Amino acid sequence: MKRKITIHGKEIEYTLKKVKNAKSVRLAIYADGRFVISAPKWYPIYVINKFIEEKSHWIWEKVKDVDFVALAQKKKSQEEHYRRSIELARTVVHSRLEFFNCHYDLSYNRVSIKNQKTCWGSCSQKGNLNFNYNIISLSDQQRDYVIVHELCHLQELNHGQKFWQLVAETIPNYRQVRQSLKSINH
Ligand SMILES: [Zn+2]
């Protein structure tokens, strides 16, 4: 829950977290300006407000130089960038899938663009394809390889010889591209 307090005329936004098993109120201010108060679930708001009041000097020392407006703008522009990247990735992935599927002629269900940390793409047994939105930051060849890789899993679920033969039909140098992808951290 987002709440606001005013100290020395400065409006400060904080997040109030009600924690089931907490025993007392805790206060944390992070370097990026996030201000979090966690309190036991049953604590009434006036107790929390009293706590804030008692700590207001300490809070003020921490936040007096934080530019909350600039921080909010930065966050907003990051979110905007993320949204645009997702949309761009969706467009690119769909068009490349259609392109390669002219060759493979396989059927897939849902195509999702996700913020996955661990992989570039995945294919479920139900035929759903997932791609990391960061796929747009790869080279065209790497991006196409990821798309073809997942597309081919619709026919061959494992990484057997038949699978790689299928991949090679459209990406003959897949070994090299695959190797180049391994060196990328994302
Ligand atoms: Zn695979």
pLDDT of residue 108: 94
CA of 23 to the centre of ligand 1 (A): 47
Domain end (from 66, 91, 119): 66
CA of 125 to the centre of ligand 1 (A): 12
CA distance 65 to 43: 30
CA of 91 to the centre of ligand 1 (A): 22
CA distance 101 to 48: 59
Model confidence, pTM:
0.70
Provide the residue range defining the domain that includes 126: 71-182
- β-partners of residue 60 are none
CA of 47 to the centre of ligand 1 (A): 54
CA of 123 to the centre of ligand 1 (A): 8
CA angle, corner 106, sides to 168 and 100, nearest 5?
Answer: 50
CA of 156 to the centre of ligand 1 (A): 9
Sign of the CA dihedral with 152 first, then 153, 159, and 162 last: negative
- Total structural domains within the chain: 2
Phi, psi of 6 (to 5 degrees): -120, 125
Same domain assignment for residues 81 and 163: yes
Same domain assignment for residues 140 and 114: yes
Same domain assignment for residues 119 and 169: yes
Domain end (from 66, 86, 115): 66
Cβ density class 7-42: b for 16+ within 10 Å, e for less: beeeebebebeeeeeeeebebebeeebebebbbbee
Residue with tokens 């663009």: 113
Same domain assignment for residues 116 and 34: no
Task: Give the residue ranges of the chain where pLDDT is below 70.
Answer: 185-186
pLDDT of residue 29: 87
pLDDT of residue 185: 58
Same domain assignment for residues 82 and 17: no
Same domain assignment for residues 155 and 175: yes
Same domain assignment for residues 146 and 106: yes
CA of 105 to the centre of ligand 1 (A): 19
Nearest CA to 146 among 131, 134, 157, 156? 131
- β-partners of residue 12 are 5
CA of 142 to the centre of ligand 1 (A): 14
pLDDT of residue 113: 95
